[in-house]
Amino acid sequence: MILYSVTVSVEPAIHDDWVAWMRDVHIPEVMATGCFSENRMLKVLSTQAPGELTYSIQYTCSDMKTYERYRDEYAPALQQAHTERYRDRFVAFRTLLKYV
C-alpha cells in the first residue's frame, strides 16, 4: 500500500474558502480518478509559526503503478487548478510513503 500525502499551509485570509473547496471540489476530483481507495484531511497541530494553518491531505492507493498513473495522467491538471485558484497564498509539498 502507498500513502500519498500533500501538506499545505494556507494564509488565514483564504482558510475557510480553501477548506470548503478542498472538501467539496478538489478531494472528490482526486478520488474520481479511481486511483485511490481512501482519503483523509487532517489539521497539523505541531506547526513552526503561531497562527500557521497547515493541513495534511492523505490518499491511499494499492501500489506504485497506480500512484504513477495518477501522477502522470491526473495530477498536473488537478494541481494546476489549485494553483490557479490560490496563486501564491499557499505552500505545498508532497510525500510518498510505503506501508511496512
3-class DSSP state of 54:
strand
- Per-residue pLDDT, 71: 98
Nearest to 10 by CA among 52, 39, 67: 52
- Per-residue pLDDT, 52: 76
CA distance 91 to 100: 29
Q: State pLDDT tens for residues 23-82.
A: 999 999 999 999 999 999 999 988 667 777 999 999 999 999 999 999 999 999 999 999
Q: Where are the alpha helices (DSSP H) in 46-91?
A: 64-69, 75-86
> What is the CATH number for 12?
3.30.70.100
Phi-psi region of 12 (alpha: psi -120 to 50; beta: other; left: phi over 0): alpha
Domain extent, residue 10, equals 2-98
Tell me, what amino acid is at 23? R
